[in-house]
Each structure stands twice: as C-alpha cells, then as structure tokens.
Amino acid sequence: MIHRSILHNDEIHGASDKVLAPGQVGLLAGWGVFTTLRVKDGVLFAFERHWARMSRDAALLRVALPTDSEAVHRDLLKLVEANHAHNSTMRLVVVRNVGGMWEAAGNHPSDVIALTADLKEWSASVRLTYVPQGRHAASRFAGVKMTSWAMNLTCLEEAQGKGFDEVILLNERGEIAECTSANVFAAQGNQIWTPPLSAGCLPGVTRDLLLHEVRVPGFEIREKTLLPADLAAADEVFITSTTRGLLPVFEIDQTRLRHEGQAQEALQKEFTAYVEKYVAEHRAPVRA
C-alpha cells in the first residue's frame, strides 16, 4: 500500500486528494516515464543515475521533464519526510499531458508524481519461467522505462498464477533480454555476464553499477549475448534490481539450476558496501 501523502508537481497532497484531471493524455495513454528508487536512511540512492536514465527516456518519448533536477530532488525529500519514509520504496513518474485529442484544459505539459511505500520482503531465491517474444530488441523504444507497463504486469501475473516469482523475457532472436523488472546475470567460474543493451533490456541502475563501479577481486563482469542454454549451464544465475539487490535464481521452468559459485554472494557484499558508502556521503548533516 502506498503511504498517506504523495507529491504532485511541487506540492505534497493526501493520497486520496483529487489532484489529477480527466483527459490527461499521459495517464490515459501511458505516455510517460518512471523509475523506482530505494530510500535508505532518508537518502535517495543513486538519484542522479535514475534521473539521467529518465532524462534519456523522456527525450525519446518527447516527455517534458523539469529542468531543475535538484528542485525535484528536494521535493522528493519533502515527501520522504511527510510520510516518515526514511527506509522505503519510491516511485517517481513524469507523465505527458498535452498532445492528441485527450487533454486537460490548462494543464502543465507534464506532471511529476511521486509515491512511497514500505519495502517489500523478497524471498531468498526466485523461480523463473521463460516468455518468448517478450522483448523486441530492434525497436527504438527497447530498454525505455515507460509507464505503458501493462504487458509486463500481464506476463508477471500469469507467471505468478502458475507458481513462479518472475519471468525471463526473450527477444525476437530467442536471446535473454531481462525480467519484467530486473536484469539477468550468469556466472561461470570467475566470469560473470549480463545481456547487452542490444538484446532489448533496460539499463538498470544496479546493472550499471555492477558493470562499472562495483569491483570484486577475482571476478570479471562483462556484457555477452546469453541464450537459455547458457543459463542452464551456468554455475550461478541471479537477477538484480533497485529494490531486490542481487537475488539468486535456483529454478527456471521447473528445472533446478546449479548454485556452485561464489559470484552472487561476493558481489552482493560489495554492492551493499557501495550503498552504505553512498548513503553516508549523501546523508543530510544533523542540525545542532
């Protein structure tokens, strides 16, 4: 459940307040971009990376973002305080509200909306199933985190109805792309691979940090085209996201996977240390 207060543009409102208007094309057509942030000890973890990705996606979708990201950051921190949500999950959405037939009179070109909710308790491992043709890698919108998310939610709901936790979306070439809300990694010995963006996957913030910032001696992380057979033969398979961290995969389509390496455990330890360091560096000073 979302918390009692939300952010709408630069104002805090009650979650039940009627602040949205009929005819907002961004809401009716799913014309917008979003991201999910981890709030830890009152800090918006990796906000600048989330905003950079939203900016790229918004430009592609012709969605106007506020020009002052620092002002947005301050507003989001006000929401955290209003909800006492110092350790929570935050959803930040920017929806376009002009263009086409359905428009709300006098509306802003785009609306900034943010909500917070309690952290979700994830299981220690996940069971996955494959969805063929789940991503179209050749599309120029592949990898864009847009609010038109119904296809992902439908795939996830169907899989969960069959007892799975998540799905692995295959692209038109039968390659591993991603999960509905997580990236996929496979390890063989000291080599760790994740699909390239050309496979149609979203450039997740955790994925990016593991590729370019988090370093574990003895392990090498690279992009590589992966097929289902590669996951079946791997020593370890795990998925990553902002809210999950790194979760091991023990089963795909009712076939048990090996879990014989130390990659996921070692990377999780270093990633946790990276998060703690980031939070310590970005925590607001205590006033005397």
Question: Could you give the number of structural domains in the chain?
Answer: 2
At residue 110, the pLDDT reads 92
Is residue 155 included in any domain, yes or no? yes
At residue 104, the pLDDT reads 73
At residue 105, the pLDDT reads 66
Statement to judge: residues 46 and 145 lie in one domain = no
Statement to judge: residues 130 and 110 lie in one domain = no
Q: Which helix (H) or strand (E) holds 264?
A: helix 263-282
Residue 70 belongs to domain spanning: 5-117
Is residue 280 included in any domain, yes or no? no
Query: Nearest to residue 241, comparing CAs of 184, 159, 168?
Result: 184
| CA-to-CA separations, 194 to 11, 70, 198, 199, 225, in angstroms, rounded | 40, 32, 11, 10, 8
- Looking at 59, 93, 117, the residue that finishes a domain is 117
Per-residue pLDDT of the chain (288 residues; tens, 9 = 90+): 899 999 999 999 999 999 888 888 898 999 999 999 999 999 999 999 999 999 999 999 999 999 999 999 999 999 999 999 999 999 999 999 888 777 776 668 899 999 999 999 988 889 999 999 999 999 999 999 999 999 999 999 999 999 999 999 999 999 999 999 999 999 999 999 999 999 999 999 999 999 999 999 999 999 999 999 999 999 999 999 999 999 999 999 999 998 888 999 999 999 999 999 999 999 876 554
At residue 117, the pLDDT reads 98
In the chain, how long is the greatest CA-to-CA distance?
Answer: 60
Residue 237 belongs to a domain with what CATH number?
3.20.10.10
CA dihedral over 66, 69, 70, 74, signed as positive or negative: positive
At residue 208, the pLDDT reads 97
- Token digits of residue 222: 């690279």
- According to DSSP, the β-strands at 245-252 and 236-241 are antiparallel
Quick check: 32 and 95 in contact, CB under 8 A? Answer: yes
At residue 107, the pLDDT reads 64
- Looking at 95, 117, 139, the residue that finishes a domain is 117
- CA dihedral defined by 226, 206, 140, 90, rounded to 10 degrees? 140
At residue 23, the pLDDT reads 83
At residue 288, the pLDDT reads 45
Q: What is the pTM of this model?
A: 0.94
- Looking at 54, 82, 117, the residue that finishes a domain is 117
Statement to judge: residues 30 and 99 lie in one domain = yes
Place of tokens 């009179």: 105
Is residue 284 included in any domain, yes or no? no
CA dihedral over 86, 183, 205, 259, signed as positive or negative: positive
At residue 70, the pLDDT reads 97
Statement to judge: residues 152 and 239 lie in one domain = yes
**Cβ burial 57-85 (10 Å sphere, 16+ → b, else e):** bbeebebebbeeeeebeebbbbbbebbeb
| CA-to-CA separations, 113 to 10, 79, 151, 212, in angstroms, rounded | 9, 11, 22, 30
Statement to judge: residues 266 and 248 lie in one domain = yes
Statement to judge: residues 100 and 153 lie in one domain = no
